[in-house]
Structure 1
Amino acid sequence: MARDMARVTGVTERLIRLLARHLPGYEVRSVERLGEGQDNAAYEINGELVIRQSKIDDSAPHNDSAPHSGAGPHNDTVLHRDAAPRDDTTFHRDPAQHGGAVQHGDPARQRDPVPHGDSASRAEVVRREAALLVVVSEVSPLPVPRPIFVDAEAGVLAYRKLPGRPLNLHPVREPARLAAPLGAFLSALHVLPVGRMEDLVPRDAFPLRDLREEAEGDYEKIADRLPAEERRLVEEFFAAEVPPDPETLTFCHNDLGSEHLLVDVETSAVTGVVDWTDAAIADPAYDLALVYRDLGPEVYGRTLAHYQGHHDDADHERMLFYARCALLEDVAYGLCTGIRPYAEAGLAHLGRTFS
C-alpha cells in the first residue's frame, strides 16, 4: 500500500510540475487516470485537460497500478480510473490496462511502437503527432484534439478534453443524424494534400489478399460458434474473388470505429473524433468501411450522400471487403479473449454486414 501511494504521489507531483512549467498559475485540483496502452498513459486534469505521456522510461507518470485517493501534495489532488477513455492515447488490446477500451483494426496495419528508452525517437513521434493534430484541427468540421502545449523531450501532449461519450458505449437516439457530419468530415480529410501529410504519417498499403488470409484465420477461430446461415454468408464471401487493390491513396483517420466517435446521446450529434495514432496515407474506402460495419448500411448510405470524395463501384466493393474482414477480426478477438462487448456487437451486425 505504501508503495502504491508513493507511486501515485510521484505521478501527481510530476504532472503538477509539468503544468507549472507550461501553464504558469494553473491550479491542479484533480488528476484522473484515463487509461494506459503499450506506448502511452493519459490523465485528465480538473475535468478539462488531457495530458498524454509517452512511456519513455520507468520514471514516467504511468507507473501507478491501482485507483487511489488523497494522493499528491494537496489533499484535493486525486488519482482515479476511468472505464471510458476519451483521449488520443494509443490503446491496445489489454482491458486490464485501460478499462476495456480496445482498437478496431488489424495489428498488422498499425505502426510499430517506438522502443522504450529511445527518447530521441519518442520526441520526434510526439512532435509529428502534435503537428498532425494541428493540421487536422484546421480543416476538420468536427472537433479533434488540438495541442495546448507539447513537451517533446518529456514525451507529452496536452489538449482540452473534448465533450461527449464514445459512441460504441453510448448509442444515440437517431443514428441517421450522424451521417451528414461524418460525410463532411471524411470529405475534408480525404482531400488533404498527400505530399503534405506523408511527412507526418506513414503509408498503409496493405494488400487485400493478405487481409483476406488473416480474416480466414479469424473465421477458423469462431466458425463453430456461428449459426449455419451466418457461416454460409461468410463462406460465400471467402469464395468470391478478392477486389483489386486501390489505385489511389489519401490521408485517412484509418481507425474510424464507433469507439473513436464522441457523441451527445440526447441530440445524436457528433462532438469529436479521437485517436489519431493510426492515421495514414491509406485507402479512403477503409474509413467508410468502419462506418458501414459499426453504424450499418443506412447510415453509410446517408454518409455517402454528404461525401464529396471519389467513390465508385470499385470503391464500394473494397469498402464491403474491409468491413467484413474487420468485423470477423472483432468477433474472433471478443470470443477468444472473453471481452464480450466486441463479440456481441460483431455477432449482432454479422448478418447485415455480409448480406
Structure 2
Amino acid sequence: MEHDVRGVVRRHLPGVDAGRVEPLGRGLDNTAYLVDGAWVVRFPSGPDALDVAREARLLAEVADVLRGIVAVPEPAFAAEGALGYALLGGVPLMLRPAADLGGVADTLGAALRALHAQPPDRFAGLVPREAEPPQEWLAEARELAAGLELPEAAAFLAHDPPPAAERLVFSHNDLGAEHVLVDPGTGAVTGLIDWSDAAICDPARDYGLLLRDLGPDAPVPPAGLRERAWFHARCGLIEDLAYGLSRHERHYADKSRRQAAWLFRPSGEPPASGRR
C-alpha cells in the first residue's frame, strides 16, 4: 500500500480499528481509501492539490452554508498529509441516470443559490480566483474538438463566445453528475463531493456543467447567466468526451454522446429551458 492508512487512522480516529482498507480511487489531485466501509481517507497525489488543512477549513465553511440543503464531506481529521471524513451515503448520479431528476434539480438549485449568495471574502485564502475569459474556454474546446468526431459542435465552435462574467462568486466549479450523490432507491440527493476545484469564478460554470449532464432537467440558470451557462455546458461536453475517450472512461464518453444532439442545436442558439 502506498500510504500508511492504518497508522494514520489509528492515530487520529480513536476507536476505529482500520482492519479493512480498500483503494477507493486515484485522481489527478488525490488518492483515496475506504476504511472499514465507513471512512474515507485521502492523500494529495499532485502538486496542485489543496493542502489538507486548507481543504478541511474549506469543507467546514461549505458544510455550514449547505446545512439543511445537502450534505458535504465534513472532516474528522486533517493530519500527516491526510484528510479523513465519514463516507457519505449514495452513489454518483452519473451511475444512476434514471433518477427522478425533478427532485435532484430542486435540491441542486437550492444549493447553488446558497453557495453563490455567499460573500467571496468568506473564502479568502481557501480557494483561488479564476477569471479566464470565454475566449480561452472556446480556444481549448476548439483544440479538443479537432481530435473528436463531433459534427454537432461545428456551429457552436464557429461562433464567438459570450461576454465575460461581470460578477464572480464562490462556486463548486466542477459540479458534474459524478460529484452528485443520490440514494440508489429513491434518487434523492444525498451529498455533493470533490470540492478540490472550488473557486471564486463565473457562477454560470456550475449551472453549465449540470446542464451538460442533466439536460432539460437541470436547475434553470438565472436570466443573466443563461447564455454563459449554455456556453460552459457545451465546452464541458467537449472536454468530457475527450477525457472519456482518451482515458477509456466509458461513462464520460457515453453521457457526452447522449447529450450532444440536444446541447448542440443547428442554429447554435440555446433551446428553451426545461424546468421552471
For the residues of structure 1 that align with 2:44 and 2:55, how far apart are their CA atoms? 12
Equivalent residues of 1:171, 1:265 under 8 A apart: no
For 1:343, what is the secondary structure of its paired residue?
A: helix
Q: Residue type of the partner of 1:349?
A: Q
Corresponding residue to 2:229 among 306, 319, 326: 319
Instruction: Tell whether 2:63 aligns with 1:134.
Output: no
Equivalent residues of 2:234, 2:263 under 8 A apart: yes
Q: Kindly state the Cα deviation for residue 334 of structure 1 after the two structures are TM-superposed.
A: 2.6
For the residues of structure 2 that align with 1:244 and 1:161, how far apart are their CA atoms? 40
For the residues of structure 2 that align with 1:39 and 1:176, how far apart are their CA atoms? 32
Instruction: Tell whether 2:183 aligns with 1:273.
Output: no
Aligned to 1:185: 111
Aligned to 1:353: 263
Equivalent residues of 1:172, 1:265 under 8 A apart: no
For the residues of structure 1 that align with 2:14 and 2:147, how far apart are their CA atoms? 54
For 2:237, what is the secondary structure of its paired residue?
A: helix
Highest CA radius of gyration, 1 or 2? Answer: 1
Q: Kindly state the Cα deviation for residue 276 of structure 1 after the two structures are TM-superposed.
A: 0.4
For the residues of structure 2 that align with 1:286 and 1:220, how far apart are their CA atoms? 23
Q: Residue type of the partner of 1:113?
A: D
Corresponding residue to 1:155 among 63, 81, 90: 81
For the residues of structure 2 that align with 1:337 and 1:15, how far apart are their CA atoms? 27
Superposed CA deviations along residues 252-295 of structure 1, whole A, max 9, x for unmatched, are 00000000001113211001000000000011111000111000
Q: Kindly state the Cα deviation for residue 127 of structure 1 after the two structures are TM-superposed.
A: 1.3
Q: Residue type of the partner of 1:148?
A: A
Instruction: Tell whether 2:251 aligns with 1:341.
Output: yes
- 5 Å-filtered alignment, 1:71-220, equals 113=48, 125-140=51-66, 141-151=69-79, 154-220=80-146
Equivalent residues of 2:10, 2:18 under 8 A apart: no
Equivalent residues of 2:59, 2:73 under 8 A apart: yes
For the residues of structure 2 that align with 1:40 and 1:337, how far apart are their CA atoms? 17
Equivalent residues of 1:170, 1:265 under 8 A apart: yes
Size of the alignment, in residue pairs?
Answer: 263
For the residues of structure 2 that align with 1:127 and 1:251, how far apart are their CA atoms? 19
Aligned to 1:69: none
For the residues of structure 2 that align with 1:340 and 1:37, how far apart are their CA atoms? 16
Corresponding residue to 1:254 among 173, 178, 190: 173
Equivalent residues of 1:212, 1:325 under 8 A apart: yes
For 1:251, what is the secondary structure of its paired residue?
A: strand
Equivalent residues of 2:6, 2:21 under 8 A apart: no
Say if 1:207 and 1:19 are closer, same or farther in 2 by CA, change over 3 A. Answer: same
Q: Kindly state the Cα deviation for residue 338 of structure 1 after the two structures are TM-superposed.
A: 3.6
Unaligned segments of structure 2, at least 5 residues:
266-276
For the residues of structure 1 that align with 2:52 and 2:248, how far apart are their CA atoms? 33
For the residues of structure 2 that align with 1:113 and 1:25, how far apart are their CA atoms? 33
Equivalent residues of 1:35, 1:42 under 8 A apart: yes
Aligned to 1:43: 33
For the residues of structure 2 that align with 1:324 and 1:161, how far apart are their CA atoms? 32
Q: Kindly state the Cα deviation for residue 324 of structure 1 after the two structures are TM-superposed.
A: 0.5
Q: Kindly state the Cα deviation for residue 36 of structure 1 after the two structures are TM-superposed.
A: 1.9
Q: Kindly state the Cα deviation for residue 53 of structure 1 after the two structures are TM-superposed.
A: 1.9
Aligned to 2:274: none
TM-score, normalized by length of structure 1? 0.70
For 2:32, what is the secondary structure of its paired residue?
A: strand
Q: Residue type of the partner of 2:239?
A: E
For the residues of structure 2 that align with 1:160 and 1:265, how far apart are their CA atoms? 19
Equivalent residues of 1:198, 1:281 under 8 A apart: no
For the residues of structure 2 that align with 1:280 and 1:211, how far apart are their CA atoms? 16
Percentage of matched positions with identical amino acids:
43
User: What is the CA RMSD across the aligned residues, in angstroms?
Assistant: 1.9
For the residues of structure 2 that align with 1:127 and 1:149, how far apart are their CA atoms? 9
For the residues of structure 2 that align with 1:184 and 1:166, how far apart are their CA atoms? 19
Say if 1:343 and 1:317 are closer, same or farther in 2 by CA, change over 3 A. Answer: same
Aligned to 1:236: 155
Aligned to 1:87: none
Q: Kindly state the Cα deviation for residue 45 of structure 1 after the two structures are TM-superposed.
A: 1.1
For the residues of structure 2 that align with 1:16 and 1:48, how far apart are their CA atoms? 14
TM-score, normalized by length of structure 2? 0.89
